[in-house]
Amino acid sequence: LSEYLDLISTIIGHHRGRVMHYAGDAVLAMFEAVVDALTCAAAIQEELNARSAELPEDRKLNFRIGLNLGDVIEDRGDIYGDGVNIAARLESLADPGGICISGTVHDAIGNKLAVQYEFMGEQQVKNIEKPVRAYRVLLGTTKQTDTTSADPVELELPDIPSIAVLPFTNMSGDPEQEYFSDGVVEDIITDLSKITGLFVIARNSTFAYKGKRLNVRDVCRELGVRYALEGGVRKAANRVRVTAQLIDGNTGGHVWAERYDRELHDIFAVQDEVTQAIVSALALKLTPDERGRTPRGYTENLEAYEYFLRGRDQAFRDTPEANAQARAMLEKAIELDPGFSLACSHLSRNHILAYSNRWGETPDESLALAMELGERAVELDETNSHAYFSVAMAALWMMQHERAVAAAEKCISIVPNVAEGYGALGLILVYSGKPREAIVSLQKVMRLDPHYRDIHLHLLALAYLQLEEYEQAAAALKRRLVRKPESDISRVLLAAIHGHMGNVEEGRAEWAEALRINPDYSLEHRRKTLPYKNPADFERILDGLRKAGVE
């Protein structure tokens, strides 16, 4: 039982949750985000059920999980109140090895997860006046719709050696140190991505497996690579231990393994040694530039590096609150080391997100700061691909399309395997009126990042629309809407495409659905804010809507 409770606590930490209380064989945990709570619950049951299946009947342990979204009272490290009482009642309704959620969780999840439920009716809860809607989660269906590829096709192996760097296990025993092990993996991915003779899967796809029980051979097949790197990181005081194993996805056998016990300030050297070991193990031939490249040092200030890693970790959460927290940490990193190029480039990206999402009251100021920081990052380190990415995105929103294309291409030239570089280039080319080139870049993203973000399908549809290839455009949008049914912008675009295809009824239906999702949707606002180089490309959308009978 103790081993199972430790495992449950670890998985909770991996999903940004906090264990609030233990009572016998029960665990009470709290999450800031409902999606994290449900994906965590599914990961726990998947892991526990897999372990239980290997045990004789008299030794099996089956846990029930109940989830509720509601108000709680937090007092001296514990929580209580109606929200907790409802969760406890739902736990008793769950099947052994299953999950039961409240109607508030069900409604809040919406279409954020591709999950199936079975309605269990309204349940009476002691001391709660109104009945509570309950749903049984059908395990095996819980996947995030914005990170999971909708394409079930078998991916062919590239013509060159290929690798996926999987999330390393945080062996520190402290969930608060998760950012550090994730940071080590991020840096190794970046270093490997600079090697032209190696195909490297993007972080977005490999981190889709974080916190899950893995069969490395299955992962390699799903991602279309020959090799996988897995490992662990233990950080304690001024020491760090990194273990790494390179595994052949065909055989499941180890190609190389090593353990590094070092002083914390040697962490950059460890990351470089891991990269070099993989190069040797795979007998990769480096170009003269790659052989002559000096090991990159982010900063000699470990405190600045810690703030950078924490800021980067927050930035991946993509919310206004996380954006603000990331900004504060990245600003602190730069304060501690004004010459820290990577911190400058990530702070630039932070301001770009604030501008494009209108997170804040001064978006124009955010855009100006984004460009200033991106240019400073380039000046500090001309080999920093993230700096050129930031300059490219800022230039696009400033309507400097040629400069944006040049910066995105420079980003890719530094790191040939960088999915986000191809994503930025594809986006910029769409708005620059170069759809054929955009499609090539977007297809490259989808191979480097098999769990690519669904927005790439929307961009692909825009490119096909510019080429008047309406069937292809509609197909891309329908794939996106499987993953994100509540996308108002894709509904509007699909309505316009139906108009061009002469499908008036379908076009009107998609337009009506878009307005149901977002009653405040404004074509005029989109016309003013989207960075089209050629206004005729936006007019093509309006023309399609008119043909669909939408005025």
Query: Quick check: is 56 in a domain?
Result: yes
| pLDDT score, position 111 | 66
Determine contact, residues 317/345, Cβ cutoff 8 Å. no
286 and 306 share one domain? no
Cβ contacts of residue 153 below 8 Å, gap of 6+? none
194 and 244 share one domain? yes
pLDDT tens digits, one per residue of 321-344: 989 999 999 999 999 999 999 999
Mean pLDDT of 290-311: 76
Mean pLDDT of 397-406: 98
304 and 286 share one domain? no
Mean pLDDT of 315-322: 84
74 and 185 share one domain? no
29 DSSP β-pair partners: 19
Length, in residues, of the chain: 551
pLDDT tens digits, one per residue of 494-550: 999 999 999 999 999 999 999 999 999 999 999 999 999 999 999 999 999 999 998
Structure tokens at 114: 């591709």
- Number of Cβ within a 10 Å radius of residue 248: 15
Helices (H), 144-202: 178-193
- In 86-209, which ranges are E strands? 99-102, 113-114, 117-123, 132-137, 143-144, 162-165, 169-170, 199-200
Query: Quick check: is 78 in a domain?
Result: yes
Which among 144, 177, 192 is the end of a domain?
A: 144
Helices (H), 138-266: 178-193, 203-206, 216-223
Answer whether residue 294 shows pLDDT above 60. no
Angle at 302 between CA 341 and CA 329, to 5 degrees: 60
Query: Quick check: is 449 in a domain?
Result: no
What CATH number does the domain containing 472 carry? 1.25.40.10
What string of DSSP letters covers 466-492?
A: HTT-HHHHHHHHHHHHHH-TT-HHHHH
Answer whether residue 147 shows pLDDT above 60. no
190 and 98 share one domain? no
Determine contact, residues 239/229, Cβ cutoff 8 Å. no
138 and 199 share one domain? no
pLDDT tens digits, one per residue of 444-474: 999 999 989 999 999 999 999 999 999 999 9
**Better-predicted residue by pLDDT, 420 or 57:** 420
Query: Quick check: is 430 in a domain?
Result: no
327 and 357 share one domain? yes
What string of DSSP letters covers 480-547?
A: HHHH-TT-HHHHHHHHHHHHHHT-HHHHHHHHHHHHHH-TT--HHHHHHHS--SSHHHHHHHHHHHHH
Query: Quick check: is 79 in a domain?
Result: yes
Structure tokens at 217: 């051979």
Q: What's the rounded Cα separation, in Å, for the pair 503 and 281?
A: 56
Mean pLDDT of 193-202: 91
What CATH number does the domain containing 106 carry? 3.30.70.1230
Q: What's the rounded Cα separation, in Å, for the pair 411 and 383?
A: 9
Cβ contacts of residue 324 below 8 Å, gap of 6+? 359
Q: What's the rounded Cα separation, in Å, for the pair 37 and 27?
A: 13
pLDDT tens digits, one per residue of 207-253: 988 877 778 888 999 999 999 999 999 988 788 899 999 999 988 88
6 and 137 share one domain? yes
Q: What's the rounded Cα separation, in Å, for the pair 302 and 183?
A: 13
- 403, with CB counted inside 10 A (0-12, 13-18, 19+), is middle
How many domains does the chain contain in total? 4
* Domain span at 370: 300-416
Please give the helix or strand (H or E) that residue 167 lies within, else none: none
Query: Quick check: is 50 in a domain?
Result: yes
173 and 225 share one domain? yes
Mean pLDDT of 392-405: 98
CA distances from 223 to 23, 185, 200, 228 (A): 41, 17, 10, 10
What CATH number does the domain containing 199 carry? 3.40.50.10610
pTM above 0.85, yes or no: no
Mean pLDDT of 171-181: 83
What is the distance, to the nearest Å, from the Cα of residue 66 to the centroid of all Cα atoms in its chain?
A: 26
Mean pLDDT of 403-426: 95
Q: What's the rounded Cα separation, in Å, for the pair 187 and 346?
A: 14
Query: Quick check: is 103 in a domain?
Result: yes
Answer whether residue 152 shows pLDDT above 50. no
Which of 137, 214, 208, 170 lies closest to 9, judged by CA? 170
Which among 291, 320, 345 is the end of a domain?
A: 291
Residue 125 Rama label (left phi>0; alpha psi -120 to 50; beta): beta
205 and 315 share one domain? no
What is the distance, to the nearest Å, from the Cα of residue 37 to the centroid of all Cα atoms in its chain?
A: 16
Which among 86, 113, 144 is the end of a domain?
A: 144
Query: Quick check: is 155 in a domain?
Result: no
Percentage of the chain lying above the pLDDT 90 cut: 49
Furthest-apart CA atoms within the chain: distance in Å: 73
270 and 316 share one domain? no
136 and 229 share one domain? no
Answer whether residue 118 shows pLDDT above 90. no
Q: What's the rounded Cα separation, in Å, for the pair 438 and 465?
A: 12
Determine contact, residues 129/82, Cβ cutoff 8 Å. no
| pLDDT score, position 77 | 66
